[in-house]
Structure 1
Amino acid sequence: MYQKAIVLIDELKQLLEKHNIPINENTNLRIETMLQTVKDDNQLYNLDYIINWFKKKREESDMIVQEIGVNDLDKWNVDKTTGNISHVSGGFFEIIGIKASNTFDREVGKEGWTQPIIAKNPGGILGLLTKKINGVTHFLLQAKAEPGNIDKLQLSPTLQATTSNLLKAHGGTKPLFAEYFDNPKNAKIIYSKWQSEDGGRFYLKSNYNMIVEVDEDEELEIPNSFLWVTLYQIKQLMKIENFVGPHVRGIISYL
């Protein structure tokens, strides 16, 4: 299959050259990406296996989420003067209030509005680790539980970590695979750009979106909450409601 793909890529390049379309590194990436989206050629798992694997992970999740009052939050403080909410470490984020005015192009009119908003968040890294297996590009996703997710788990990037997570402000461990994205040494950066987050909920926040490739010969220890999938499979999984998290969708938009 890999050899057939090489032949097809060469034929496409010849066709482009015939029409005087220049061939460069970006062209090669676009051709390879196009081929990745048309066939389920995962060398490890077919699409049905991945869907069943993820559903089982959801069933096995023992995370319990319970709504409590803000005053009952551990290590979070409410400022008596401003009402702002912040963590005792000074990290993570802060809930502040903002006032938007002169908003002529919005549905509320020029008078604007006030609202709470998540602020003082330095952002973080949203990264997909990629590796060729038998010549086929695969991406490492995690079935990750978050308290606000529908059905607890969503398929998330290899690394989904705030700066506070990377600095271990919570007192826990450094996120898995962080070494491949935080000043990577033995990996090739395919894509790395700051991308803004939802400005209606986050104040002046952006995340560093990355796609990083490891060598095909490198052996990785993959925990049981992670799975190698192809770009074709990601696009098919996106057709299932509440399966693929927004950060994965955002990162692969580059491709």
Structure 2
Amino acid sequence: MSQRIARSLWGAGDAAQGLQDFHSWFTGYRDRDASQIRRIDFDALTGWRFEDTTGDLVHDSGGFFSVKGLNVRTGQGVSQRRWSQPIISQPEIGVLGILVKEFDGVLHCLMQAKMEPGNCNGVQLSPTVQATKSNYTGVHGGKAVPYLDYFRNAPSRRVITDVLQSEQGSWFYRKRNRNIIVEVSEHVDVREGFHWLPVGLLHELLFTDDLVNMDARTVLSCLPLSGTGLSTAHPFEGDPFRSALVASLSADEGALRTSRQIQHWISDARVRSEMDTTPVGLGEIEGWSRSADRISHGTGLYFDVMAVDVRAGSREVRSWTQPMIEARNLGVAAFLVRRIEGVVHVLANIKAEPGFLDQVEVAPTVQCTPEDYRRAPAEDRPPFLDEVLQAPRDSVRFDTVLSEEGGRFFHTRNRYLIVEAEPDRAISVPDDFCWLTLHQLAGLIQHSHSVNIQARSLTACLHSLTLRPTGN
């Protein structure tokens, strides 16, 4: 399967014509979208209320999601740190699915142009199916979710990947989605707002700001691109960096650490994790205050809980109101990479987040909001933050601003960076960091709750780098 995906990724034909056709379709659909989103006060929410006893923000149906409170403690003794925060509770498992089909020897993905109320630009490219359980069981009272049965009733022989993945552990409490890719051979009726895209073209679109949405990126990261023999079948001669990327995808090339050592690193971090979380009422959290239209931290940093009114022209339900989370500032998610004996390795961090089911997951080298550390002393700044933000232009391999999930987060975006370290520079690596090949990272993604959403997005971006010649 990896060789087949690789051939589709790197041999998709006339890329320029494909991009032109895509933008003609996508721009036309986006221009026809008549959706209107406006901020509202909490008392203008319909079907939502603050519970008298807890202060939690809940839906009258008991479905969808709720905004609760969480008390968090990390560390021990003098290094102990405590905080409280709002967090989204959505215990149901959603479906994020992409249908794939081969046309003229090239795998294509059936993608959807989808409006989400939190998208900064209205419509973005999403998976074939992007639905919560409340959506597909009809709690919203709207139309059925298109193509859902391909994923709920898929024969196992057609399933390319199927794994439960986490979402943002800082904003969701133990949230999981089923990331599933299913191949079909029969004819599929293409509905309005859907389009077959070659897998290579879809990765090329990752270089465009705010186009491929978070849900599409996480499913794309699950494509089993890594395997044996890739570096010999696709050597990219004359382009050392691309060759090193493909070598990194190849299971038969070298790695700094064995997969067994990496699994030990993760398991040991979970055992040693000193993060304790206690769900509490939203009205009980300290340091946060509620006004007519938002719940904010006293410092003015981090994020707000706010509300929107939605008038949608292309959704299962045409109008609704809902609360959302809005980040105060642009975040950064970055992988520092380097070539080690001709094989690209990424520097991964093992990171605890309060909403994770298993406490810690593999994360990017840097994952933070730089503005939150603007006044912090140098020793409190995240490791490698200054290195990725101040990297010379010729060492930055990927630099695109991408939106986070527009169904729950309002205009919340991260700058996704891949920076190559100088090969001869010594890098001191703390114990909670580890050099991984793309093959090893891909293997971890095939296991539930192992790699966080930001690192999965960056994995898809790393795959896209194999499309562009670098010459060095």
1:229 maps to 2:229: no
How far off is 1:186 after superposition?
A: 9.7
The structure that is strand-richer by fraction is: 2
**Preserved CA contact (<8 Å) 2:101 2:183:** yes
- Amino acid aligned to 2:94: G
2-structure distance, mates of 1:144, 1:187 = 29
How far off is 1:158 after superposition?
A: 0.1
How far off is 1:31 after superposition?
A: 1.1
**Superposed, which structure 2 residues align to 1:144-223 within 5 Å?**
144-184=114-154, 188-215=158-185, 218-223=186-191
Aligned partner of 1:41 among 13, 19, 30? 13
1-structure distance, mates of 2:126, 2:212 = 7
1:250 maps to 2:218: yes
- Amino acid aligned to 1:48: Q
Task: Report the secondary structure of 2:70's partner residue.
Answer: strand
Task: Report the secondary structure of 1:83's partner residue.
Answer: coil
1:52 maps to 2:20: no
- Amino acid aligned to 1:219: H
**Preserved CA contact (<8 Å) 1:71 1:78:** no
- Please name the residue that 1:114 is paired with: 84
How far off is 1:234 after superposition?
A: 0.9
1:187/1:67 CA distance change after superposition, 3 Å: farther
2-structure distance, mates of 1:133, 1:242 = 28
2-structure distance, mates of 1:102, 1:253 = 30
Task: Report the secondary structure of 1:112's partner residue.
Answer: strand
How far off is 1:141 after superposition?
A: 0.3
In the alignment, structure 2 segments of 5+ residues that lack a partner are 224-472
Task: Report the secondary structure of 2:216's partner residue.
Answer: helix
How far off is 1:248 after superposition?
A: 1.1
1-structure distance, mates of 2:56, 2:176 = 21
User: What is the TM-score with the length of structure 2 in the denominator?
Assistant: 0.45
**Preserved CA contact (<8 Å) 1:94 1:121:** no
How far off is 1:167 after superposition?
A: 0.6
How far off is 1:214 after superposition?
A: 1.1
Deviations 1:37-76 (A, max 9, x none): 2133389x71211023212222221000010112211111
How far off is 1:83 after superposition?
A: 1.3
2-structure distance, mates of 1:203, 1:140 = 30
1:42/1:125 CA distance change after superposition, 3 Å: farther
1:204/1:157 CA distance change after superposition, 3 Å: same
1-structure distance, mates of 2:14, 2:215 = 22
1:31/1:123 CA distance change after superposition, 3 Å: same
How far off is 1:204 after superposition?
A: 0.4
In the alignment, structure 1 segments of 5+ residues that lack a partner are 1-28
Deviations 1:67-109 (A, max 9, x none): 01122111112112211011111111111000111257xxxx6
2-structure distance, mates of 1:103, 1:87 = 35
1:39/1:32 CA distance change after superposition, 3 Å: same
The percent identity for this pair of structures is 35
**Preserved CA contact (<8 Å) 1:180 1:186:** no
**Preserved CA contact (<8 Å) 2:5 2:107:** no
- Please name the residue that 1:241 is paired with: 209
Q: How many residues align?
A: 220
1:47/1:179 CA distance change after superposition, 3 Å: same
1-structure distance, mates of 2:90, 2:211 = 30
RMSD: 1.9
How far off is 1:185 after superposition?
A: 5.1
2-structure distance, mates of 1:153, 1:42 = 26
User: What is the TM-score with the length of structure 1 in the denominator?
Assistant: 0.81
Task: Report the secondary structure of 1:66's partner residue.
Answer: strand
- Please name the residue that 1:93 is paired with: 65
How far off is 1:198 after superposition?
A: 0.7
Task: Report the secondary structure of 1:80's partner residue.
Answer: coil
1:78/1:220 CA distance change after superposition, 3 Å: same
